[in-house]
Amino acid sequence: MSKKDQVLILGWREWVALPDLGLHAIKAKVDTGARTSALHAFNIDLYEDDGIEMVRFFVHPIQKNQNFQVECIAPLKDQRQVTDSGGHKELRYVIETDVVVANRRYPIELTLTDRDTMLFRILLGRSAIDNSMMVDPGASFICGKLNTNKVYDLKSEVDK
C-alpha cells in the first residue's frame, strides 16, 4: 500500500498549517457535522488587484491570545450563505488555500467568519476531510503537537 493510499486517522482536534496564508500552526477542530470549513477572520477587506477580487483579513491564530495577529491575503473564490450550528444564516467570503495536516498538503475551501468567541480558530468540515482520512472522535492530536508560540516567535525573528 503506498503512502498516499494509507488511511490517516485524525483526532477531533489536530494541529494544521495554512502555509499560503502565513499560518504555520493553528489548532483545528475536526467537525464531521459541519460540511464547510471555517477560518476565524476579522477586519475583512475586499479589494481588486489587476482585475482579480482579493480579500485581506487578520487572524488571531493562537487560542486565548488577542495580541498576536497575522495578516492574510487570498483571491476571493465565492460568497455563500452559511448556516452555523445555532441556525443563524450568514453571507461569508470563501477562499481556497492549501492546508497541511500530518505532512499531507491539499487545497480546501474556507469560509471567513469571526470565531473570536470560539475556542478553535479553524473548523475543518467534511469537505476538507478526504476519503483517505477517518476521524477518531475520542482522540486528540494524533498527528502530533505543535507549539504556536515557538512557531510564531521563529517567524517573527525571520521577518525582522
Q: For 108-136, how does the pLDDT look when each residue is reduced to its tens digit (9 = 90+)?
A: 999 999 887 788 999 999 999 988 899 99
Q: Per 3-state DSSP, what percentage of the chain is helix, strand, and coil (rounded to 5)? A: 15, 50, 35
In this structure, what DSSP letter does residue 129 have? S
Going by C-alpha positions, the residue among 156, 138, 101, 111 that lies closest to residue 11 is: 138
- Asked if 111 and 35 touch (Cβ cutoff 8 Å), the reply is no
Compute the distance between CA of residue 156 and CA of residue 77 in angstroms, rounded to an integer: 29
Compute the distance between CA of residue 60 and CA of residue 123 in angstroms, rounded to an integer: 14
Give the pLDDT band of residue 33 (cuts 50, 70, 90).
Answer: confident
Judged against a pLDDT cut of 90, whether residue 155 lies above it is answered with: no
Judged against a pLDDT cut of 70, whether residue 160 lies above it is answered with: no
pLDDT score, position 154: 46
pTM of the model: 0.86
The grid cell for 42 is 476579522
Domains, the chain, with CATH or none: 9-139 (2.40.70.10)
Judged against a pLDDT cut of 90, whether residue 27 lies above it is answered with: yes
- Which tens digit of pLDDT belongs to each residue from 52-106? 999 999 999 988 888 899 999 999 999 999 887 778 898 999 999 999 998 899 9
